[in-house]
Every structure is written in structure tokens, then in C-alpha cells.
Amino acid sequence: MADQAIIERGKAALTYRELAAIARGEVQLRLAAATEACLRNGRAIVERIIEKGERAYGISTGLGALSEIVLTGDQQAQLSRNTLLSHACGVGNPLSVTATRAIMASLVNDLCHGHSGVSPAVVHQLVALLNAGITPLVPGQGSVGYITHGAHIGLALIGIGDVAVNDVTQPAATALAAAGLEPIALGAKDGLCLVNGTRCLTGLACLALTEAEHLADWADVIGAMSFEALKGQIAAYDADLLALKPHPGMITVGERLRALLADSEIVAKHQGYRTQDALSIRSIPQIHGATRDQIDHVRRQIEIELTSATDNPLVLGDPDNYRVISNAHPHGQSLAMAMDLLAIAIAELGSVAERRLDRLINPATSTLPAFLVQGGGVNSGMMIAQYAAASLAAENKLLAHPMVTDNYITSAQQEDHLSLGTPGALKCLQVIANARHILAIEYLLAAQALDFYPGLKPGRGTGAAHTALRAEIPPYLEDRFLSPDIALVARRLGETSWAEAVAKALTRSSS
């Protein structure tokens, strides 16, 4: 990783795109001198509290419902180690490497505000693991919003548990030694700093947002291809018309659709073909635009959270004039709601895509060969691909049910309202993955449908999208194994090469 670009965590917080780039292993992370000073100041306050024998939650007391028990001397450091051991009780399959790295980067970002009072060695170890490609194995389930994921990550810092290095699972102690690192010793409050706050939720939310933004762009491209193949009536996307209902997202989608379909001979030939299109075709600006508006809201919530100190307690001031304040900043209500909203918004992209692709395979609505293949009967064509899309859309309907509206009581009623934001973010990521596969299926079907218009040129953007796909996936002249094609397109929808080809075509169109 030595040749990678470096992102510096300075006085300003990481952006969600920077955090996602770190999570995907695209860049390395470095701490600026100003950040180091913030960490030292916060830690000096904690050490002054210990020196003076003050009572402060999680520093000189137990945790949660045990906060009335006062600890002294070595007990305070022992609490940190015990916190990680007792709180690392996650279950289920491990998080992906990218998801775990997102949480680690989010931990670094939050702790670097300097208000947690964590030992700088904890942050240095997190950065070292990220840059060395050492990723703790973190069970995916068991969080009500925070705690468990951070505890599993924290254990790796002290050489306990398993980690992944280049997709190979090995003991944390072995991986640390191979990277020239040693397990760190934890001090007072360090364990609490690792399990507290909204860091898990925020890291996962950054991934979800970057993926949602990318998918929203693809939904416009693929929807435009279906519109074209279904002989859509372009008047519904008229700029003056859309300006009469000026939702920002809708206006943006209208502009994109007009650019994607610019110079389309297919669209031009079929103007007046029908009085108006079905809503799944006619209302792409309204539906996709509403999703974009929700993405904008989610972005604002994440940007605020990244600039926030979310530990409890927090330290303010300096060692000579400080306050230590118990608070509720670890409660992730704002971001939890945002993740539920994003799940709903992306589920709708998948839902309307399934309706469009259903129209593509039905000769009654497309006037194209049934199931988009010649020789129907011996060939089933794209018949069952629509079944797969319907299944994913149905699953997303269930997953889009809000998590934040549920509630449980933990820690002997000390924590009697929970955001459930972390499982909500994980659920949102699954919705995005499902919607990506629905759109991959629509992409395959729309490209196949456009093949039935020989001699007619598609739009600038839709033509580029069709060309990009056909460079890797040939037309379906007869039935063949579909799953590998769907998987390939879904993978490409998460990458940049095809998107860049479409963007380049749109740039030429506007010049």
C-alpha cells in the first residue's frame, strides 16, 4: 500500500467520500500535527481527572447501570480491557472487510475531535491497522446502535481475536507481529472510547450514501434505456413542464433524461405513438427525483455526524480549565432515521425498475418479441429474470420497514431508548445491493430490447450505456446461463468504467 494516495485527518473532519475511500482501501490515512495536539489535550484532561480522584462516568466509575460503582487505581485501566472482552459478543457472519474498515475510519475520525480523552496510542493503532490492511473479523449482528462492533475491533488492537489480511484469516497477535506492530496497553476510558458513540453507524452510513449516489445515477441511465425501448413519449420530460413542479431532484432527473436521450432516432420515430405512457415510464423524473431529494437529506445528516464528537462522557477545555460532561451524543437517532429513509428511497428505485423491466418482456406492452428473444417456446428468453427482480423487490419492501420506530430496554433500564441505527444501516446496505441487482437485470433487458431497433440510433447517453454493456456481454440469440451476466453487470454498476463512458458521452452531447 506504500504507493497509495494519502488522506490526512487534520482539524477538519473526514468527508464521507474520504471515509469511503479509506474503507475500500483506495487511500491511506495520516494524522496531522494539529490532530495529534487535540488528542494529547483530551488525554491530558482525563489524566488530570484521574490524578484529582474525581468521579466521572466511565473514567472512575463502572458502565451503564454500574455507573454508581467507583473504581480506583489499576481498576480503571482494567475496566477498559474488560469492557472490550465483555462487550465483544456479536453473532452471525462477519462484516465485509469494507464495512469493518469504514467503522475503523469512523472511529479515528470521531476520536480525533479530541473530546473523548482517548489515549493517542489507540488512534495510532487504528490507523496502523488500516494502512497495513489488517481488518478485525467482526460479527455482523448484535448491535442496538453501537458497542459490539467497536468492541471486536478494539480487541484486535490489543492482540485478541482474529483478523483478515489479504483475505486470509489469522490471529490478531500474529498479524500485528508480521506488520511490525505490538498489542497496545489500554488506559482508563480507552475501552469505553472504542465501544461508544455513533462511529459504527456513521461509517456504514458513509458507505451506503456513496453507493446510493452512484446507483441513483445508474437508475436514470437504465430507466432512459427502457423508456427508449418502450417507445416513450419525451414530452413528459419537457423542461418547462417539469418547472411547474420544481422539486430539485425531479428537475435534475429531467435534465439527465433529456441529455441521455439526446439525438435518439428511436425516440424521434415514436413520438405520437401513444397518447401517454404508463406511470413507470412517464414518471421517472418524479420517482427518481424523490429518491435524489432523500439522498440530499441523508447527506446533510452524515456530514453533520462526521463533524460531531459522539462519545460519553466528553471533555472540554484544557487540563487547567476543563469540564467533563455525561451526555447522550452516542444516541444515533438522526442518522438512524436517515438510514431508514435511504432504505425506503433506494427500495423505490428497485421497485419502479422491476415494473419497467416487466413491461419490456411483455409483448402486449413492448410490441417486441415475447421475453425479448426470437424462437419463443424453445427459448424462454428473459422470462425468469423478471421473477428474480420481483423477488428482490419484495425482499426490499420488507427490509424498508423502519428500524428506528422499534425499541428495547437495555442495561437494567439505564439505556431505555435505542436508535437501532447500526442494524438499520446494515439493512440499508442490503437494500442497495438488492436494488443494484434489479437494475442490473433491467439493464440487460433494456439493452436486449434496443437490439430490436436495427438501423435506428439510440440517444447519446443510452447508446454509450448500450455499447459499454455489449462490449462484454453479447446479445441473447438463444437461451444461455443468465446468472453470470447479471452478476457481471451488478459488479460493473458498482465500479466506474461504464459510468465514465456514459458521462463522457453526455459531456460530448452538451458541448
Q: Pairing relation of β-strands 134-136 and 91-94? A: unpaired
CB atoms within 10 A of CB 37: 12
Q: Report which DSSP code applies to 116.
A: S
Left (φ > 0), alpha (ψ -120 to 50) or beta: where does 303 sit?
Answer: alpha
The C-alpha cell 458521462 sits at 503
- Single-letter residue type at 47: E
Burial class of 155 by CB neighbour count within 10 A (0 to 12, 13 to 18, 19+): buried
Q: What are the DSSP calls for 365-396, one per residue? A: HH-SSGGG-SSBTTB-TTHHHHHHHHHHHHHH
Q: Is 57 a catalytic residue?
A: yes
Instruction: Report the alpha-carbon distance of residue 2 to residue 179 in Å, rounded.
Output: 13
Alpha helices, DSSP H, located in 147-243: 148-157, 172-178, 190-195, 199-229, 239-242
Catalytic residue selected from 16, 57, 146, 453: 57
| Dihedral of the alpha carbons of 198, 57, 61, 407, in degrees to the nearest 10 | -50
Q: Please report which helix (H) or strand (E) contains residue 126, including its range.
A: helix 120-132
Instruction: Report the alpha-carbon distance of residue 271 to residue 494 in Å, rounded.
Output: 34
Instruction: Find all residues with CB under 8 Å of 125, minimum gap 6, and list them.
Output: 157, 181, 184
Q: Report which DSSP code applies to 53.
A: T
Burial class of 380 by CB neighbour count within 10 A (0 to 12, 13 to 18, 19+): middle
Instruction: Find all residues with CB under 8 Å of 341, minimum gap 6, and list them.
Output: 294, 297, 298
Active site residues: 57
